[in-house]
Structure 1
Amino acid sequence: MIGYVTLGTNDLMGNAPFYDAIAKEMGFGRMMDFDTFIAWGNWDVPGVALTKPFDGKDASVGNGTMVALEAKDKEQVHKLHEIALANGGTCEGEPGPRGDADENGMVFYAAYFRDRDGNKLNAFCMMKSDG
């Protein structure tokens, strides 16, 4: 259902390397690249985009808004968190399990971070609770 998620930015070119690095780790590159808008991903899966607000006003962070990036495994959750911090992001929650295992023994494993504009993202995977 979701084609892509757009986040506002006040510094498109300054924030692009943050998302270039995150997308590269996940096996993606830029799928659209304009003066006011850049999108990462491909047309087979939902992507993430940054844009300068159309109304010309400053971008602001949505309270309670977050983009969740599905990692392939626990190691990639850690790697994406490291990449985010190395590219100007800030930590909003170290990598680790969240909550209890479900009835199938699966646990939600995630790390939380913000980009340079303050947009909140996480990297997550579902994994066996003993893994």
Structure 2
Amino acid sequence: MIDHLTLHVRDVARSVAFYSAALEPLCYMVKAHHEPTLGLGARDGTAHADFYLSPAPGGACPPPTHIAFRARDRAQVRAFHRAALAAGGTDNGAPGPRPYHPGYYAAFVLDPDGNNIEAVTDWSHPVDPRGASDPGNPVPAMDRAAATAGATTES
């Protein structure tokens, strides 16, 4: 399980403004200030940040990265896409189903540094609230109906 990650950017202030707006529909907010690094995390009442923005070493532009943020539903994917474009992102894939596997619904936006940022809701891989599932049956019975229903309905 990943605790946090750091994305190196050319301009932290510009990136914080972009990500604060783009990730607001996904319930993210700025939570940590470790100058010159800033961290964002879920609006969950804790101080934990899991996504940090830090200056690129030597001001260099690092190679583009792809980061996918989980969305609760298709409406949240669409809200992310609208917010990211309004914040200055570049469209890199409008909200919609993807051919990766059944139920994959995502939107892609390039951030100010060219990173490919995705919001995705994926009903083929529902979260098991009990933790690890039985290896022979990776989706609990109670989640199978939701997974099937979610794959065919617009949220």
Secondary structure of the corresponding residue to residue 10 of structure 2:
coil
Query: In the aligned structure 1, how far is the partner of 2:94 from the partner of 2:107?
Result: 5
Query: In the aligned structure 2, how far is the partner of 1:44 from the partner of 1:73?
Result: 25
Ranges of 4+ aligned residues in structure 1 off by more than 6 Å:
43-46
Q: Cα RMSD over matched residues?
A: 2.0
Counterpart residue number, 1:104: none
1:15 deviates by 1.7
How many residues align? The count is 123
The answer as to 2:54 corresponding to 1:51 is yes
The answer as to 2:135 corresponding to 1:113 is no
The TM-score normalised by the length of structure 2 is 0.71
Query: In the aligned structure 2, how far is the partner of 1:15 from the partner of 1:96?
Result: 25
Query: In the aligned structure 2, how far is the partner of 1:121 from the partner of 1:45?
Result: 21
Report % sequence identity.
Answer: 30
Amino acid at match of 2:106: A
Contact preservation (8 Å) 1:5, 1:48:
yes
Unaligned runs of 5+ in 1: 102-106
Of Structure 1 and Structure 2, the greater helix share is in 2
Unaligned runs of 5+ in 2: 124-149
Query: In the aligned structure 2, how far is the partner of 1:18 from the partner of 1:57?
Result: 19
The answer as to 2:18 corresponding to 1:22 is no
Of Structure 1 and Structure 2, the greater strand share is in 1
- Residues 74-85 of structure 1: matches in 2 within 5 Å? 74-85=74-85
For the structure 1 residues 97 and 47, does the alpha-carbon distance in structure 2 shift closer, same or farther, using more than 3 Å as the test? same
